């Protein structure tokens, strides 16, 4: 892997107990479930420079493969100026060190729970981003009794989505260089808010009927929530982060209008009715750019609309990702 020198002894955790700084790194087990998934996801959306980055690396050790994604949106109407990079490689083991990705992408944790660096290089782009803690990570399920979770969703959910995971609002700085004939044609500076997500465990994509996942940024808070459907159950969870701490989201209702840019299946407007222990409010999203991603297997298919969106809450403006996923199970 280029861009960073291999260094430092690998740090690892089984990730089965209380989440600590070691859980920033890979989770190496003696045996992996068939639908094992460990992924790191980041986004940085900068409307001032009109430069938007979405990236992910996922290790599926039960299938002995790695998936990488790097999306650059510079012009929502001209796809020739953008990048949608997807790669899938066979692997036998996690990397020996703590640099994740492939020959084009490097994910590196510089300070656990606080700072990451992401580099992407090809013959068209050179990207170098630093993600720094804006708010502390929110540890999902940390405030709930595990036995009550199993009682609520059933033991069978563990075969579909038994996942440890945390998410975090970030500050992002860096640059995107546009390369032409080996020379820098243009450089765009990035200074914006971003988001990240780290999860590990079991994820059987085709048995998850669908979800709405939102990560949005406002000047003084981050909001992240999911409403997922699997095995006849509705799973609702999320949080709002401010400098004072986290407020847990307990219920989400979703109303969606489809038809973005003539695509009858792509959401163009969504209304979310969000409930926390202390309040209930409405936040809306308007799709600015929709990115269509598919996952195919012998067992079925999964479709993701990864949408860069503009959000509004009580007259206040924000931005972020409104993600809509649905699966078809052939079995």
Domain residues of the chain, as ranges?
12-203, 204-331
**Helix or strand or coil: residue 22?**
helix
Q: So what's the pLDDT on residue 261?
A: 95
What is the CATH number assigned to the segment(s) 204-331? 2.40.370.10
Radius of gyration of the chain (CA): 19
Q: So what's the pLDDT on residue 10?
A: 59
Beta-carbon contacts of 186 under 8 Å, excluding residues fewer than 6 positions away, are 177, 178
Q: So what's the pLDDT on residue 215?
A: 98
Q: H or E stretch including 160?
A: helix 158-161
The CA-CA-CA angle for residues 247, 252, 256, to 5°, reads 135
Q: Which mean pLDDT values do the consecutive 10-residue runs of the chain (331 residues) have? A: 49 64 94 94 98 98 96 95 97 93 98 98 98 96 66 74 90 97 96 97 91 97 96 93 96 97 96 97 98 89 96 98 91 67
Strand intervals (E) in the chain: 36-46, 51-60, 65-73, 83-90, 99-101, 105-111, 115-121, 125-133, 138-139, 163-180, 183-202, 208-218, 221-230, 233-242, 245-249, 251-258, 267-275, 280-297, 300-313, 316-329
Q: So what's the pLDDT on residue 157?
A: 76
What is the CATH number assigned to the segment(s) 12-203? 2.40.370.10
Q: So what's the pLDDT on residue 1?
A: 43
Q: What is the DSSP string of 246-261?
A: EEEE-EEEEEEEE-GG
User: Are 12-203 and 204-331 equal in CATH topology?
Assistant: yes
Q: So what's the pLDDT on residue 226?
A: 97
CA 229 to each of CA 37, 208, 216, 303: distance values in angstroms, whole numbers, following the listed order:
19, 6, 21, 14
End-to-end CA distance of the chain: 38
Q: So what's the pLDDT on residue 296?
A: 84
Distance of CA 208 to the CA centre of its chain: 16
Q: So what's the pLDDT on residue 243?
A: 95
The phi-psi region of residue 3 (left if phi > 0; otherwise alpha if psi is between -120 and 50; otherwise beta) is left
Q: So what's the pLDDT on residue 5?
A: 45
Q: So what's the pLDDT on residue 276?
A: 97
């Amino acid at each position: 892997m280029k861009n960073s020198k291999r260094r430092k002894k690998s740090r690892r955790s089984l990730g089965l107990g209380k989440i600590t700084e070691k859980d920033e790194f890979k989770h190496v087990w003696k045996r992996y479930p068939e639908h094992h998934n460990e992924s790191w996801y980041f986004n940085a959306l900068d409307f001032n420079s009109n430069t938007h980055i979405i990236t992910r690396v996922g290790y599926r050790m039960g299938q002995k493969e790695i998936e990488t994604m790097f999306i650059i949106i510079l012009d929502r109407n001209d796809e020739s100026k953008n990048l949608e990079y997807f790669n899938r490689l066979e692997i036998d083991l996690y990397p020996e060190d703590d640099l994740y990705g492939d020959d084009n992408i490097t994910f590196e944790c510089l300070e656990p729970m606080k700072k990451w660096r992401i580099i992407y290089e090809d013959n068209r782009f050179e990207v170098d981003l630093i993600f720094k803690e804006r708010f502390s990570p929110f540890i999902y399920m940390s405030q709930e009794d595990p036995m009550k979770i199993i009682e609520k969703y059933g033991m069978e959910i563990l075969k579909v989505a038994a996942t440890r995971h945390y998410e975090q609002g970030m500050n992002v700085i860096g640059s995107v260089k546009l390369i032409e004939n080996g020379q820098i044609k243009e450089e765009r500076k990035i200074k914006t808010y971003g988001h990240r997500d780290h999860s590990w465990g079991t994820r059987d994509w085709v048995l998850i009927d669908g979800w709405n996942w939102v990560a949005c940024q406002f000047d003084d808070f981050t909001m992240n929530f999911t409403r997922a459907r699997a095995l006849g159950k509705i799973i609702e969870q999320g949080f709002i982060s401010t400098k004072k701490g986290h407020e847990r989201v307990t219920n989400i209702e979703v109303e969606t209008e489809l038809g973005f840019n003539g695509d009858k299946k792509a959401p163009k407007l969504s209304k979310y009715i969000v409930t926390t222990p202390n309040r209930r409010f409405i936040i809306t999203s308007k799709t600015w750019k929709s990115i269509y991603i598919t996952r195919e297997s012998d067992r079925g298919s999964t479709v993701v609309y990864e949408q860069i969106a503009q959000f509004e809450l009580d007259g206040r403006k924000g931005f972020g990702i409104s993600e809509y996923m649905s699966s078809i199970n052939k079995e």
